[in-house]
Structure 1
């Protein structure tokens, strides 16, 4: 997956989990580029894609902020408090106790996702 899409996905997930809320400011594209060792154009491309999706709003001279639309979308489907989250935590704990490495867990998740979300 392209690096800019990974940034987009991380922001989308943070919104779904309630980590990011309406009005929260994203770090500057330059800071993300510096912290991740990515080309600044890569982070700018990610921010433009997030804006295109209506998830963020740039405020010239101030920064990039989570939009009201994104926050309302996230509130409609709160995942952080979902009972499924607890079940997944339990499953992950059991997988770790069973000695599965992250690669094993990732492969199982990928296979289940492909089966249920073709």
Structure 2
């Protein structure tokens, strides 16, 4: 089961943080079709956010066809976003983990690495990478 981490200082709407974290779990294969998401009550207990915020996130995920609400049962994953190339045991992930260790050894911190990766993503993917980033979502409240 996914455990949400809310960063109140990020400037990203809380419901979008939940949406992004579910999508990341779907991409990494941590959530698979049929898995049940935590109830709004469970998320509220773990994160101290408004239950309506959780429901808004789940509605957005439902609208995107990623989850489905089953009345009286909960919210379940409908489809995966995982690709074998991004799996925990993939060669690409191992190379990225190795590169990240070298970056830390070279003295880069988390923010330096994130900036460097964002820059390379922008160069490699252009506007497609920037089109749906946290920065693009900051103007939305939740």
Deviations, residues 41-72 of structure 1 (Å, cap 9, x unaligned)? 111110000111111111111111111xx13x
Gap runs ≥5 in structure 1: none
How many Å separate the matches in 2 of 1:6 and 1:113? 20
When normalised by structure 1's length, the TM-score is: 0.86
Contact 1:56 1:64 in 2 (8 A): yes
**Any stretches of 5+ residues in structure 2 without a counterpart?**
1-11, 127-142
Aligned pair 1:8/2:19, yes or no?
yes
Q: Does 1:60 align with 2:63?
A: no
SS at match of 2:16: helix
Displacement after TM superposition at 1:113 (Å): 1.8
**2:31 aligns to what SS in structure 1?**
coil
Once the 2 structures are TM-superposed, how far is the Cα of residue 109 of structure 1 from its aligned partner?
1.4
Q: Higher helix proportion, which one?
A: 1
Q: For the structure 1 residues 56 and 115, does the alpha-carbon distance in structure 2 shift closer, same or farther, using more than 3 Å as the test?
A: same
How many residues matched? 113
Q: Could you tell me how far apart the structure 2 residues matched to 1:38 and 1:117 are?
A: 34
* Deviation for aligned residue 1:34: 2.5
1:41 aligns with 2:52: yes
SS at match of 1:25: coil
Would you say the 8 A contact 1:7–1:46 is kept in 2? yes
Contact residue 29 and residue 47 of structure 1 kept, 8 A: no
3-state SS in 1 of match to 2:29? coil
Aligned partner (choices 105, 116, 121) of residue 97 of structure 1: 105
CA RMSD of superposed structures (Å): 1.4
**Structure 2-normalised TM-score?**
0.73
